[in-house]
């Protein structure tokens, strides 16, 4: 297992690499370059400069996140072949710089969604990302975009790029003719085109779950439970067609048995990386991000780490969506302090499980 940390890049992240390097047990990043819109090629020289900069700080960068899929691909529009070609070129460029896993999602229009980016937690006065279906029902998609922009603290948020969202109304109209079966067929077309590139370059393309784990605004969603991921794995039968299992995204739906999902796909060799976080269920389709500690949320973090240890121990792991604590100001969900605490907790669980198994 390699413990990593999400980082947005120099000048775009308030957390310096030297602070990440000081987190015990953290050896690398799950990085991203969010200056490129979906469908654009990530230039080789820019990727190389980014990777070299991270290496000079004493960290690895073998996982890249948020190489976003253009909506024309998800919609199956005539322009998709050009964007698929660009995606393949980005895969090649990342592979040349030592990247081994690329995380993407296939959610229509909106990637992740919350109704509040800084809801206070009454138990301790910290704040975290929060979702309430009842609040969502009173908002239009455009109001959600405006609400998210106001709560971002001036930071960019992956999946909420301005150029992408200014087309929101037009794209939502196009999705009226796309159901789950059509979306899955469009994903199959995409995977059949890019997985051979991944295989040739030694890269695994890992799909992230829908967040939250159900359809929203009537848009089709196909990646939020065991059955959905089973169907995705069968679209192209290759280890390069992999999964990024996010425990918080899957765990937002209490019907999902997260450790069982990890074990199922871990035993198949399809898990390339795992985002590990805890969520607190507060009612029907109502939850908040909590600390990573099991007792602070609704997920059994010991069982989750144990499932990783026993079925996919060689994956990349990172903490995810921490609270904002100790008066830290930063990108919602991505402060330093609570995620560093999360790493310490997850590493402690890993060490305990490892020593139990070894009889020490």
Annotation marks residue 264 as catalytic: no
345 included as an active-site residue: no
The Cα 300–Cα 82 span in angstroms is 44
CB neighbours of residue 16 within 10 Å: 13
Nearest in space to 159 (alpha carbons), one of 106, 202, 198, 205: 106
Whether residue 43 contacts residue 89, with contact meaning beta carbons closer than 8 Å, is answered with: no
Annotated catalytic residue, options 26, 130, 201, 208? 208
Which entry of 26, 97, 198, 246 is annotated as an active-site residue?
Answer: 246
CA distances from 14 to 18, 108, 267, 335 (A): 12, 30, 38, 9
Whether 334 sits among the annotated catalytic residues: the reply is: yes
Set 224, 264, 292, 321: catalytic member: 321
275, 292, 316, 345: which is the annotated catalytic residue?
A: 275
Active site residue 208: yes
Q: In the structure encoding, which two tokens stand for residue 175, read together?
A: 């999705």
Question: Catalytic: 36?
Answer: no
Q: Are 301 and 277 in contact (CB under 8 A)?
A: no
The active-site residue out of 8, 36, 83, 334 is 334
- Tell me the backbone φ, ψ of residue 295, rounded to 5 degrees: -70, -15
Active site residue 320: yes
Give the C-alpha separation, 322 to 210, whole Å: 19
Mind telling me the catalytic residues? 208, 246, 275, 320-321, 334
């Amino acid at each position: 297992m390699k413990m990593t940390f999400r980082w947005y890049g120099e000048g775009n992240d308030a957390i310096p690499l030297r602070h990440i390097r000081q987190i015990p047990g953290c050896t690398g990043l799950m990085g991203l370059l969010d200056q490129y819109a979906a469908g654009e090629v990530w230039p080789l020289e820019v990727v190389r400069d980014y990777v070299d900069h991270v290496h000079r700080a004493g960290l690895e960068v073998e996982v890249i996140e948020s190489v976003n899929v253009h909506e024309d691909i998800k919609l199956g529009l005539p322009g998709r072949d050009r964007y698929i070609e660009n995606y393949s070129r980005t895969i090649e460029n990342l592979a040349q710089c030592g990247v081994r896993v690329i995380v993407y999602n296939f959610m229509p229009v909106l990637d992740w969604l919350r109704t509040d980016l800084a809801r206070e937690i009454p138990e301790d006065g910290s704040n975290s990302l929060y979702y309430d279906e009842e609040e969502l029902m009173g908002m239009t998609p455009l109001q959600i975009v405006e609400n998210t922009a106001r709560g971002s603290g001036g930071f960019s948020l992956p999946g909420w790029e301005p150029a992408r969202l200014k087309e929101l109304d037009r794209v939502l109209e196009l999705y009226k003719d796309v159901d789950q079966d059509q979306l899955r067929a469009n994903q199959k077309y995409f995977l059949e085109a890019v997985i051979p590139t991944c295989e040739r370059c030694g890269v695994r393309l890992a799909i992230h779950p829908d967040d939250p784990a159900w359809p929203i605004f009537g848009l089709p969603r196909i990646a939020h439970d065991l059955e959905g991921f089973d169907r995705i794995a069968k679209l192209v039968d290759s280890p390069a067609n992999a999964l990024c299992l996010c425990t918080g995204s899957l765990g937002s739906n209490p019907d999902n048995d997260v450790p069982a999902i990890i074990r199922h796909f871990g035993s198949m060799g399809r898990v390339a990386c795992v985002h590990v976080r805890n969520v607190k269920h507060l009612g029907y389709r109502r939850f908040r991000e909590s600390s990573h500690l099991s007792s602070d949320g609704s997920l059994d973090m010991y069982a989750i780490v144990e499932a990783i240890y026993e079925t996919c121990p060689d994956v990349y792991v990172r903490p995810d969506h921490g609270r904002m604590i100790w008066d830290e100001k930063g990108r919602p969900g991505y402060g330093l302090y609570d995620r560093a605490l999360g790493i310490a907790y997850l590493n402690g669980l890993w060490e305990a499980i490892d020593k139990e198994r070894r009889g020490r």
